[in-house]
Amino acid sequence: MSEANESKPNQGSFDGIEYILGTPLEWSWLEEKLCASLQTKAKFGSDHTAQQIGLGQGSLSVLARIQPMWTQSDERLPRSVIAKIASLKTMREMVNGPLASAQTFLDFNMKEALNSMEKFINSIHNTEASLYAALQTSGLNLKVPKAYVLQKCDIHCPQGVIVMEDMGEDAFTVPLYDVISVENVYEPFLAMIKSMRYLDESLAPMVDRIVDNWDTIFDENT
C-alpha cells in the first residue's frame, strides 16, 4: 500500500483501478506479498480479477476471490486465492442505506461510531491472523485453509489482510440462523453491546440509547 494510504488506511476514496474492491488494499502490494510468499518470479497478468464473495455473511471485512492470471505457467501457483480484507466498507454502505433510519430513531451519529470501531476491528483481525500463524506451526490436524499472507494491522501497515487458499466447493458457510434461534442470541448480543462502553467511552451514550430501546428495536412487529 502506498505511503499515503498507510497513514490513513480507511479514509478517502479507494475507487481507482489500483485498489481492490473499493478497499485500501492495492494490487501492487498484494502482488508483491503473494509472490514473495510463493517464492515465484511470476507476476499478475494484466487480466487479473477480484470478485467479492460472502455477501450478506459478515460486515467487518471484505472477502475477495483473487485470480492473479499469472504471467508464467507453473502448476505450483494457485489459480485463485481468497483475500480477507479487514474493513468496515460493508458496514458503512449499510449505514448509508438500510440503517440510515436507525440513526434518527436512536439519535446518534452512526458514522462517528464506526470510526471508533476501527481499532476494535483491527484487534479482531490481528487475533485471527495470530491464530492462522499458530495453526501453521502447531502440528494440529485441523482442516483450515493454508495462509499465504498474514498481514496484521500495525503502525507500519494499518490495513490488515489475510490471503489464503481458495478451497472452492470444499468450504461452505453454515448460517447461524440454521443452528440457533433469535431468542438465543438476545442475551449475548446485549452483553456485547454493553461491553462497547468499556472499549470506547465515547460510545456510552449510544449504548445507553440502544439498551433503553432494546425491546422496541427488536420487536418483530416494528
Q: Average pLDDT for consecutive 10-residue bins of the chain (222 residues)?
A: 46 77 93 97 96 76 94 94 89 65 59 74 90 83 88 89 89 72 74 71 79 71 50
pLDDT at 77: 97
pLDDT at 10: 52
Q: Which residues pair with 53 in a beta bridge?
A: 63
Rounded to whole angstroms, the Cα distance separating 89 from 104 reads: 21
Rounded to whole angstroms, the Cα distance separating 17 from 25 reads: 11
pLDDT at 135: 85
Q: Are 148 and 68 in contact (CB under 8 A)?
A: no
Residue 60, all three cell numbers: 467487518
Q: Is 179 left (phi over 0), alpha (psi -120 to 50) or beta?
A: alpha
Q: Which residues pair with 84 in a beta bridge?
A: 63, 162
Rounded to whole angstroms, the Cα distance separating 112 from 117 reads: 9
105-137 per-position pLDDT tens digit: 555 566 677 777 777 888 889 999 998 998 888
Which one of 2.50.20.10, 3.40.50.1260, 3.30.200.20, 3.90.1150.10 gives the CATH number of domain 3-171?
3.30.200.20
Please report, for the chain, the start and end positions of each structural domain, with discontinuous segments joined by +.
3-171, 174-222
pLDDT at 6: 45
Rounded to whole angstroms, the Cα distance separating 152 from 122 reads: 8
Element (H, E) at 204: helix 204-212
At residue 19, φ and ψ (nearest 5 deg) are -100, 155
Q: Is 185 exposed, middle or buried (0-12, 13-18, 19+ CB in 10 A)?
A: middle
What average pLDDT does the chain have?
80
pLDDT at 222: 46
pLDDT at 180: 78
Q: Which segments of 49-199 are extended strands (E)?
A: 49-53, 61-67, 81-86, 147-151, 161-165
Dihedral angle over CA of 98, 197, 131, 62, nearest 10 = 20
Q: Are 134 and 52 in contact (CB under 8 A)?
A: no
Helices 182-199 and 204-212 cross at an angle (nearest 10°) of: 150
